[in-house]
Structure 1
Amino acid sequence: MSNAAKRQTSTLDKVLRVVLYAALLAMAAVYLAPFIVMLLTSLKDVEEIRSGTLLSLPGSLNFDAWSKAWSGACTGSQCEGMAPYFLNSFQIVLPAVAISTLLGALNGYVISHWKFKGSDVFFAALLVGCFIPFQVILLPMARTLGWLGIANTTTGLVMVHVVYGVAFTTLFFRNFYQSIPVELVKAARLDGAGFFTIFYRIILPVSTPIIVVTVIWQFTQIWNDFLFGVAFSGFDTQPVTVALNNLVNTSFGGKEYNVDMAAAIIAALPTLVVYILAGKYFVRGLTAGAVKG
């Protein structure tokens, strides 16, 4: 190839790269626009919101809406602040994610490397569980929680999310463990290693990618859940999504859009942080077990 052709090709590559980056930036701006509007609105006072436009910059930074959204004020039995419900969500999410991830890892390990009679049927049943709509299980789950005496409690919500999430976590781990050579497990058995020894010494050390995927998936699903939260929680055990709904739909006097927007950002912050810090590992983990060998 001549030097002129090489220069022409290089110029074309640069142009295409510029066009690609411009398109990506435009799409990012479109996706970020709602968040930018929310952030700008949360930093304005009510009068400035009414007199300005959605994308107008605040005249001065005003964090009163953030303070009110977080701390709020209690009137009778109603509390406007998000703080206690924010803590409730963590008390639900952390144990639910840990338990469902552990159960999913054990189930995936058994189904992929400790075949038993009916294991395929068991896995098929778990797959069916992935496609059951939330609404279908509301009544039977409510009756079960009442029978166990944990209705309207944090423990009850943890159980609901573990039961519903274990099908997804099992699917993730089973697909990942299929890529681990069977010979490795068989060799460990010949050396006298038992079920839990193999799981702890061999399987878990290579499971970091899929554990990250499962934790991100479960954390996001449970934190953003509204239906189970509003159906199975009591007033003192409501997650942050239910509290956000109550705050937005309850107002005294004029509507305070700045407080609503601040509360929405507060409710979304944990999932944003998780994806910002671990988003790249999510994609890596999903593709780690895609090819066997």
Structure 2
Amino acid sequence: MTNTRPVSTGERLARGGIYAILIAAALVYLLPLAVMLLTSVKTLDDIRTGNILSLPVEIVFDAWHKAWSNACTGVSCNGVSGFFWNSFQIVIPAVLISTFVGALNGYALTKWRFKGSELFFALMLFGCFIPFQVVLLPMAQTLGYVGLANTTTGLVFVHVVYGIAFTTLFFRNFYVGIPNELVLAAKLDGAGFFTIFWRILLPVSAPIIVVCIIWQFTQIWNDFLFGVVFSGQDTKPITVALNNLVNTTTGVKEYNVDMAAAIIAALPTLVVYVAAGKYFVRGLTAGAVKG
């Protein structure tokens, strides 16, 4: 039989107090989302006569339809659907490329060290701290020289360049904790650089891969500065389209449409965090305490 110590009244009260504080904090944190949801399903008359937390008199989804389906023309923007898919065309390749290159860099910097590898890593780490505004002009010139200005491919290139520094840092810290004996044994068996990478390092890298994917996905999806500077009229990401929508006035400010568009823009990152949030914390802590 297993002896279990009875929980005292004081411990129950303390535990209840902790849960009460956590629930209250969660409610406060979710309050803006509740306001956005309520506003997005209200009519304009309902918004004018009620307060921000009042329940809708009638639930309507016209604002959602308008926020999604209409397109931008000239300087006026009335919808985000096309730009929603633009963001996916930017995010998916940028995340995959930067994660893969970061994994290779982290592997080489920990298991195949070369002369100057520490300096190389220090320079990449230094790149993490360069303000984005500093490189806007040089990056615009570079994209122009290679013919990628105002294109989706150009935005992918920009995000890959900036993402590699962070993914290399994550993978390098994670791979430091993997025993070198595994790599040495594989070398003795005749395995080469890429064989070791594919068959030994990558299979155990799932936690840090999830960290890099979530980190990069969130950073790139929510980016506005690079999107507004380096995109063309038809290649804008959803953050730029959302800004245009919110700041476009045609006589009547449609707050319900603005809120619906903002929720649409935030949905992918919410889905990613809900689906893989626990793996993010696990992988981040695994890589943060090594090396």
User: Same-fold call, TM > 0.5?
Assistant: yes
Secondary structure of the corresponding residue to residue 58 of structure 2:
coil
Distance 1:290 1:157 in 2: 29
Equivalent positions of 1:260-275 (< 5 A) are 260-275=258-273
Q: State the number of aligned residues.
A: 288
Residue 141 to residue 182, structure 1, CA distance change in 2 (3 Å) = same
Deviations 1:196-254 (A, max 9, x none): 00000000000000000000000000000000000000010000000000000002121
1:72 is matched with which residue? 70
Query: Is 1:276 paired with 2:279?
Result: no
How far does residue 60 in structure 1 lie from its aligned partner after superposition? 1.6
Distance 2:132 2:58 in 1: 44
Distance 1:106 1:199 in 2: 8
Q: Which residue of 16, 35, 38 corresponds with 2:36?
A: 38
Query: Is 1:141 paired with 2:164?
Result: no
Q: Is the 8 A contact 2:76 2:244 kept in 1?
A: no
How far does residue 190 in structure 1 lie from its aligned partner after superposition? 0.7
Letter aligned with residue 164 of structure 1: Y
How far does residue 291 in structure 1 lie from its aligned partner after superposition? 4.9
Deviations 1:60-82 (A, max 9, x none): 21100000000125556744211
Q: Which residue of 201, 204, 221 corresponds with 1:203?
A: 201
How far does residue 20 in structure 1 lie from its aligned partner after superposition? 0.5
Q: Is the 8 A contact 1:93 1:158 kept in 2?
A: yes
Deviations 1:168-219 (A, max 9, x none): 0000000000000011101110110000000000000000000000000000
Equivalent positions of 1:148-187 (< 5 A) are 148-187=146-185
Distance 1:212 1:164 in 2: 18
1:128 is matched with which residue? 126
Distance 1:283 1:173 in 2: 15
Q: Give the TM-score of the pair, scaled to structure 2.
A: 0.96
RMSD: 1.6
Q: Is the 8 A contact 2:150 2:232 kept in 1?
A: yes
How far does residue 119 in structure 1 lie from its aligned partner after superposition? 0.2
Secondary structure of the corresponding residue to residue 44 of structure 1:
coil
Letter aligned with residue 15 of structure 1: L
Secondary structure of the corresponding residue to residue 236 of structure 1:
coil
Distance 1:289 1:150 in 2: 35
Distance 2:222 2:129 in 1: 18
Residue 8 to residue 251, structure 1, CA distance change in 2 (3 Å) = same
Distance 1:10 1:21 in 2: 17
Secondary structure of the corresponding residue to residue 54 of structure 1:
coil
Secondary structure of the corresponding residue to residue 234 of structure 1:
coil
Letter aligned with residue 112 of structure 1: T
Residue 290 to residue 165, structure 1, CA distance change in 2 (3 Å) = closer
Q: Give the TM-score of the pair, scaled to structure 1.
A: 0.95
Distance 1:113 1:75 in 2: 53
Deviations 1:13-70 (A, max 9, x none): 1111110010001100111011110110001011110110010000121100000000
Equivalent positions of 1:98-117 (< 5 A) are 98-117=96-115
Q: Is the 8 A contact 1:180 1:292 kept in 2?
A: no
Deviations 1:89-113 (A, max 9, x none): 0000000000000000000000011
1:86 is matched with which residue? 84
How far does residue 289 in structure 1 lie from its aligned partner after superposition? 3.2
2:17 is matched with which residue? 19
Secondary structure of the corresponding residue to residue 289 of structure 1:
helix
Distance 1:161 1:74 in 2: 25
Deviations 1:146-167 (A, max 9, x none): 0000000000000000001100
Structure 2: gaps spanning 5 or more residues: none
Letter aligned with residue 23 of structure 1: I
How far does residue 8 in structure 1 lie from its aligned partner after superposition? 8.8
